[in-house]
Amino acid sequence: MDTAYDLSWTVAVSRGRTEDEVRAAYGVDQGIGLLTFGQADAERAEHLGDYGLVQFKAHGEYLVAIEPNGWVGNGTEVARVLSRPTGLFFSVYWSVNGHQLVQATDGQITGRFDPTFVGLPAGANDMPGWVGDDEFPLEHLRSASLVAMERQTGLSFDPAWLTEPLPTYRIPA
């Protein structure tokens, strides 16, 4: 993941939520079928100003939401909604424009930060207590973010999420 320089996405994990609940939180308006991440990314690029896309993968008590070149799942309101009244939400966003992790528990934002700035004064905002100064080495920033997702949710990233056809939905622009 650390060398996938052109990868722009948000991957979010919710625990204890149905796909219907997650679709509602994302504001999904229409299903478009089963697509691989690459196919969804191409569709998103073709309709960049028209709509976003989100894909879902159920894994036991977890629901993974993947947005090719999207960032709805990195918003604090989605995090609050999908962790309320009791629950857990964690998202990782990165693109050429930035990097951010969002964590929510029981309807409250418990972390929202750019791991690029961990250990620097600019990185002190909304930093959860579990983040150490050496948690996110710059040369492994992306993989370290996915490791943080695994540590905080109990669900590890599966590369098959990017190659397996997944239910894909439109998010209105």
Q: What is the pLDDT of residues 64-123, one digit of tens each?
A: 999 999 999 999 999 999 999 999 999 999 998 889 999 999 999 999 999 988 877 766
160-171 per-position pLDDT tens digit: 999 999 999 999
Contact 105, 87 (CB under 8 A): yes
Look at residue 107 and tell me if it is in a domain: yes
Look at residue 4 and tell me if it is in a domain: no
Look at residue 62 and tell me if it is in a domain: yes
DSSP state of 16: S
Look at residue 25 and tell me if it is in a domain: yes
Look at residue 61 and tell me if it is in a domain: yes
Q: Which residues does residue 89 pair with via DSSP β-bridges, in sequence order?
A: 14, 104
Look at residue 3 and tell me if it is in a domain: no
Contact 92, 149 (CB under 8 A): yes
> What percent of the chain has pLDDT above 70?
95
Query: Beta-carbon neighbour count of residue 85 at 10 Å?
Result: 6
Report the distance separating Cα 92 and Cα 123, nearest Å. Answer: 16
DSSP calls for 140-156: GHHHHHHHHHHHHHS--
Taking all residues of the chain, what is their mean pLDDT, rounded to a whole number?
Answer: 91
Torsion angle in degrees (nearest 10) through CA of 29, 32, 33, 37? -100
**Domain range holding 65?**
9-172
Residue that has been written with the tokens 């308006």 in this structure:
29
Considering just the CA atoms, what is the radius of gyration of the chain in Å? 15
DSSP state of 9: E
Look at residue 2 and tell me if it is in a domain: no
Number of domain units in the chain: 1
List alpha helices for 47-170, DSSP H: 76-83, 141-153
Look at residue 81 and tell me if it is in a domain: yes
Contact 33, 86 (CB under 8 A): no
| 3-class DSSP state of 138 | helix
| 3-class DSSP state of 160 | helix
Q: Predicted confidence band at 135 (pLDDT cuts at 50, 70, 90)?
A: confident
Higher pLDDT, 3 or 159: 159
